[in-house]
Amino acid sequence: MPHPLLGTTSIDEHPRQFLSGIGTVFEEFGASTQDSGNISYGIQIDEERFFVKTAGDPDDPEPFLNHADRAALLRNAALLSRSCEHPALPDLHHVMNSPVGPMLVYEWLDGELLGAPRSLRDDPQSAHQRFRRLPAAQIERCLDQIYELHRDLARIGWVTVDFYDGCLIYDFSSGRLGVVDLDLYREGPFRNDIGRMFGSSRFMAPEEFAAGSMIDKQTNVFVMGRAAAVFLSDGTPRLTSSAQSHSEGLCA
């Protein structure tokens, strides 16, 4: 008997209606948690949990990208997931069609997003600050995983776009790190054609602010160095020696 989710290739109803009919929707991520316009769901079917991502409401006027562009980015995310296997990258189990575009079915990751709104970023109880208080060796192990993933992606041509701490899920009980929401990554190198690109300025390279600049594997190196600065120092552009050593070698 086909799996009710993984064995379905296309649906005619709204994703939430479909998902509610085959399992228990225990989480919904929409406008209250993000500004992308995407709507995602956590669904449990028997003992299995999945994360299902959609392009959201086609008629929603608020997101900065229209629905067609959001759907295209989901297809790009599926292409990236299928091109690379890494323990930090959640498994993409299935892609199905719906009236609101593609539905990407990932494994469910337990944990907390390390990104936080500016107003909450310094809260000692935030996941961001609790992660930064971990022993340096533990943070470095996570950075090593992030760097290994981006080395693998760079070798097949992917360049970082909009990578920041909101792309990281960390399970404080198991120590597992997941890297998510890489929808905007592009096959490079390519020219910056918009000026100020999408992303958090805490992580962005100088060329991501200048129209016409080349975006390539050097951009990856700078962004990964900024990740080390954010988590191993006070977040300023001057890296600690530990952060600097962990950002070297990413062009290989």
pLDDT value of residue 8: 95
Mean pLDDT, rounded, for 208-233:
96
Whether residues 227 and 124 share a domain: the answer is yes
Segments forming the whole domain that contains residue 89: 15-107
Whether residues 146 and 182 share a domain: the answer is yes
In a domain, 202, yes or no: yes
Residue entry with tokens 């990258």: 89
pLDDT value of residue 227: 96
186 has pLDDT over 70 = yes
**How many residues belong to the chain?**
252
CATH classification of the domain holding 166: 1.10.510.10
Tally of structural domains, the chain = 2
Whether residues 103 and 119 share a domain: the answer is no
pLDDT value of residue 32: 63
Question: Cα–Cα distances in Å, from 217 out to 19, 111, 221?
Answer: 39, 29, 7
Q: Which of 107, 124, 149 lies at the terminal end of a domain, its last residue?
A: 107
In a domain, 211, yes or no: yes
- Residue-wise pLDDT tens digits, 76-110: 999 999 999 999 999 999 999 999 999 999 999 99
- Residue-wise pLDDT tens digits, 115-174: 988 888 889 999 999 999 999 999 999 999 999 999 999 999 999 999 999 999 999 999
CATH classification of the domain holding 27: 3.30.200.20
CB 162 within 8 A of CB 205: no
251 has pLDDT over 60 = no
DSSP-derived secondary structure for 154-199: HHTTEE--S-SGGGEEE-TTT--EEE---TT-EESSEE--SSS-SS
b/e sequence 118-147, b meaning 16+ C-beta within 10 Å: eeeeeeeebbbeebbebeeeebbebbebbb
- Residue-wise pLDDT tens digits, 43-63: 999 999 999 999 999 988 888
Question: Rounded to an integer, what distance in angstroms lies between the CA atom of residue 230 and that of residue 76?
Answer: 28
Average pLDDT, the chain: 91
In a domain, 28, yes or no: yes
239 has pLDDT over 70 = no
Question: Rounded to an integer, what distance in angstroms lies between the CA atom of residue 232 and that of residue 24?
Answer: 39
Mean pLDDT, rounded, for 5-11:
96
246 has pLDDT over 70 = no
pLDDT value of residue 234: 62
Whether residues 97 and 174 share a domain: the answer is no
pLDDT value of residue 157: 96
DSSP strands (E only) in the chain: 24-29, 39-45, 48-54, 92-98, 101-107, 112-113, 158-159, 168-170, 177-179, 186-187, 190-191, 214-215
Q: Which of 80, 107, 134 lies at the terminal end of a domain, its last residue?
A: 107
pLDDT value of residue 31: 67
67 has pLDDT over 70 = yes
Whether residues 138 and 206 share a domain: the answer is yes
Helix (H) or strand (E) holding 231: helix 217-232
3-state SS assignment for residue 202: coil
111 has pLDDT over 80 = yes
pTM above 0.85, yes or no: yes
Question: Cα–Cα distances in Å, from 197 out to 93, 192, 200, 206?
Answer: 30, 8, 9, 10
12-26, 120-134, 152-166, 231-245: which has the minimum mean pLDDT? 231-245
pLDDT value of residue 230: 95
pLDDT value of residue 244: 47
252 has pLDDT over 80 = no
In a domain, 121, yes or no: yes
242 has pLDDT over 60 = no
Whether residues 98 and 196 share a domain: the answer is no
Q: Which of 78, 107, 136 lies at the terminal end of a domain, its last residue?
A: 107
